[in-house]
Amino acid sequence: MNHVAEGLPQPGFADAVFDSQASFRAVLDALARPGQIRTLTAPLTAPAPLSPAATALALTLFDHDTPVWLDAGAGGGDVAGFLAFHCGCPLVDETERAGFALITAPAAMPALHGFAIGEDRYPETSTTLVIDVPGLTGGAPVRLSGPGIATVTEVAPLGLPERFWSQMAANRGLFPLGVDVVLAAGEQVIGLPRTVKAEV
Amino acid sequence: MSTSAHTTPDQAARKHWMGVLARAAEDALEEAWKGLERQPEHVWVRRPESGMTMVRGRANGNGTPFNLGEMTVTRCALRLDDGVMGVAYVQGRSHRHAELAALFDALLQRPDEAGGLQRQVIAPLEHERSQAGEAARRRTAATRVEFFTMATGRASS
């Protein structure tokens, strides 16, 4: 690609139908089996600084009905133009109005309770956070238990702030309300639904 | 990317040729494409996809908008090897028609090729279409029936 192409939308999935269906299944599995690493179908391009996995998730789940919040890192690059072209999703400035949040700088991310936690009658209207981390393994181990986990499992993602896990514990206390989290790195994701119990 | 209600001359010109390409017959576009000296390579930004769009109208052109009905539309976006992006929205389900219209849209944005293509492709297509329109109008005019309302002269009591 030469410089003329800068700023113009880049291609999304190679095959929009099958690739988004495969990615949908992978995200569904990731949230049903918290802590297990799932691989999404990588799109042809990912707008900087989004990971291929976060881009695949956006192409799969975002449309004109999903208000999306971008953190400062995602808002500064080509992400907004890419999402407008491929997903047509509205971008919002208020975290509590977001259906999805794309976070590329987890160290500086807002507190979880700042996002939409849903309503008693419609708990599904909460925000799903997609957090790009430097790696899904190699960090400090965290023990996970709860629905979808037979006994106990362990994850060790890199780059999350310490306050994240205490906020996840508080988030679990809100059940059936609360936010769901998907950690992304490269082409892989880990699902952390609101039901997961995490011990550092 | 900035969106503005004002149309620049460049945008007006592009709107015009995109309209001509969308309304042209697929065969005519295919022929024009084969007639080019060099058919550039392209990559898909959005593969051709068919969908429905609601056509809206206004009575007399200035009344309240109403939904006329849905029509099938095929759209696609592609990028030529030099980075120029071509876009097409055409009526119907022909993916090839959308592809050809997008290819010509991209080529017409190249300053060095636009003039030649305008003369060799856009102008003939437009001429063909206006000829066809004229013929249809003449056919219709030949069987035109004028309706007159006779005044009955009966006063309302």
How many CA within 13 A on the CB side of residue B62?
0
Mutating which of A2, A3, A4 best tests the B interface, going by the most B Cβ atoms within 10 A? A4
Which residues face A100 on adjacent strands?
A68, A128
- The first and second tokens of residue A140, run together, are 């400090």
Q: Answer whether A86 sits within 8 Å of B46, measured CB to CB.
A: yes
- The whole-angstrom separation of Cα B98 and Cα B48 is 7
Dihedral sign (CA A172, A178, A184, A188)? positive
| Cβ atoms of B120 and B32 closer than 8 Å | yes
DSSP string, B76-144: EEEEETTS-EEEEEEESS-HHHHHHHHHHHHHHTSHHHHHHHIIIIIHHHHHHHHHHHHHHHHHHHHT-
Q: Answer whether B83 sits within 8 Å of A12, measured CB to CB.
A: no
What's at B116, amino acid-wise?
A: G
Structure-token match 């975002």, residue found = A62
Provide ipTM, 2 decimals. Answer: 0.72
- Residue B61: predicted pLDDT: 82
Q: Answer whether A10 sits within 8 Å of B45, measured CB to CB.
A: yes
- The whole-angstrom separation of Cα B2 and Cα A32 is 41
Residues A25-68: pLDDT tens digits? 999 999 999 999 999 999 999 998 999 999 999 999 999 999 99
Ranges of residues in chain B whose predicted pLDDT is under 50: 1-4, 157
Cα B66 to Cα A165, B52, B57, B63, B131, distances in angstroms: 53, 17, 5, 9, 31
| Cβ atoms of A123 and A152 closer than 8 Å | no
- Residue A2: predicted pLDDT: 32
- The first and second tokens of residue A61, run together, are 């789940």
Chain B residues in contact with A81 by the CB 8 A cut-off are 1
Name, in order, each residue with C-beta under 8 angstroms of A36's C-beta and a sequence gap of 6 or more: A29, A30, A153, A190, A191
- Residue A1: predicted pLDDT: 32
Mutating which of B3, B44, B47, B81 best tests the A interface, going by the most A Cβ atoms within 10 A? B47
Query: CA torsion, points B103, B105, B107, B112, in degrees to nearest 10?
Result: 180
Residues B40-51: pLDDT tens digits? 999 999 999 999
What's at B33, amino acid-wise?
A: W
Report the topology of domain A11-199: Rossmann fold (3.40.50)
**Category of B49 on φ-ψ map: left (φ > 0), alpha (ψ -120 to 50) or beta:** beta
DSSP A118: -
| Side-by-side strand order, sheet with A37-39 | A37-39, A188-192, A180-185, A128-132, A100-103, A68-70
- Residue A135: predicted pLDDT: 96
For A11, which of B44, B49, B82 is closest by C-beta distance? Answer: B44
Q: What number of other Cβ atoms are within 10 A of residue A150's Cβ?
A: 7
- The whole-angstrom separation of Cα B19 and Cα B87 is 12
Average pLDDT over residues A144-148: 95
Q: Which residue has the higher pLDDT, A69 or A75?
A: A69
Q: Where are the domains of chain B?
A: 9-142
Q: Where are the domains of chain A?
A: 11-199
Residues A168-194: pLDDT tens digits? 999 999 999 999 999 999 999 999 999
